[in-house]
Chains A and B, each alone.
Chain A
């Protein structure tokens, strides 16, 4: 299992030789063992990558993420044959029990809003109320119903973002530099989650709650929810008014390597995400009644 994230940011050629990823730049040659690599992020449009390398990466389930000329992630690469149980799993996925889906979604949203409340408390933002009614997020947590049918998630999101950033903050405004941070950071998290879903042999399209016809990553969009706060925290701590530059992006990518504390002890964020995804899939597909739990120290 890989543990290194490789980011290519400059004019270079990436190829494969003797179980190694070889990156040739103008003045250097870097060799990285394939078995070390978890994600290859190509954060430039000036690098060349050989088809042999792409094939070898695909065979090993290593994620390749491509970015556009504005350096935002535009797409990723998922292999076909990474899990021999894929057909069986997809059949199960299509007929996942709707009660289980609703219970899992309720649990995920509980973790999400709990984490949002913790983050607001950490930075003393929980009482910040521009035009908003001064409700605690904790109150919402108790109101979450099975399947979150009353959509407490959206209510919490509105209160949370405006308290954390600004009363005028709007997630839909692409001009806002905070949204640049969030979009970039979320796509990195999302790609790790799709990688894990693909490795486990499931479709990312069929979600538990998300069911947009345009979204290829409905299931990953479900599982990402508890972890978004880590990106939010970085965005919150950046210097106001600064544009998203390469070092900010690297900080967001390196987020996966941060050690966090959960109810299972200390672990890397990437490891916690993977374990969570696996236990959600297990809950949905197998005869287990225990809904995955996750307590994160924010």
Chain B
């Protein structure tokens, strides 16, 4: 039995972008639009809570000698010139407005003595413009946004509802189907408008800073519904993840003055980015660390065998650590058993962010490969690729992106549904939902004794991604990886779900996740293999140079006859001509 629910707007995902969208849609519609938030976790637990360092914005240009132009330029240079420049200009212009909005709704921003908001330096940003709330910025924004959503009676939160399918008919969004994990009921959410805000896909890899929930299957589901997926080969490795857990040590630690040192006690960044040192963009710092380790100047973690370098915060002193980096001190103590005040933190790069995502235009409208809008559907935040980060995101631009496009998509969706007052009808959609219900729950009927387990497939997937699509890539290695992924896709079909119950069946949810993850991994792999250049986070040993003549363009992946196809779309350039990227 499919339960049918009707909403004006359905938002998939409850992180910073999703909640910001909900808040704006609720306000813009003046209470007249009904809004549902579907979250596969409890809504306040989305991975945005783990963001630590801060949110970029030009707040006090006079006092700091900063400008929107400079923020835009830093971002575009950081992106290795793959960002769409009109989108970047829109982001930097709205960023200060969003920081002030967060200030008015109650975010506990860290402050200067006179009551203004404090800002810290961050990688690739030439002026300190990262606004922060200690080292839990993402958590504080999330908590504030979530509680503010409770202002509005017209927003209904569906905790622990796992979306399984986007329904699009005749180029128009009709709704989604979802499993209510608590009860095992299958639901059809019919809606006039949808916003995809499900975050990234860090868990395609094993060593990652991201939460267990950051699996990215929804991107594959969107692709199944006709959306194109853009620039997925650009995967960001954050330079400083703690060994062996992968728990993030914020870039703010280097922003506050932390050093990176190798086994010889040397600040090795002087050989890689002499002018910016530890605050060069993440792709550059990550490759520098891995090069140090590969050349024998790192340490080796005994239990895990991982190589690492040291993040040295000892000289910052107790006051800076306690006031500006309290969580870092606590996490290092708990998970690595060291006190950063007297010991160096063992770190190495880990997968952190997905620059790619659902292909959208500058307003966040979801596009097909030919550039047509899937009417009624938007995407925002890490799940989307607008694209403002291009080939490499600068730290603290992600929260800004989530806020700006959360707001823009929420606002547009509210206006769209108010302009289309026709009642929502089931039509043929209910039939689609019934077929989807069978597809999902038929997975519980596989009883083959020797069938592969969901977790075995996930392990194999992560092995392939780490081995074949890491930070240093090569054509032959990647082609091998792609054939392994193709074989894995066959295994996915025969995976065995061992929990056959309906109530809180995590095993079934995990199976659906893994299915989408393997499809998405193929998009990453194919895009990376095809792109015969090095740009930002995509670095190829066999093509070590950027190639603007052939590759100053976005990759688009889409499904045609059930197969993944690639095509390309130009980068939008307004003011800043591509130049060599040096720090």
> A and B from one assembly?
no
Interface residues of B, Cβ cutoff 8 Å to A: none
Interface residues of A, Cβ cutoff 8 Å to B: none
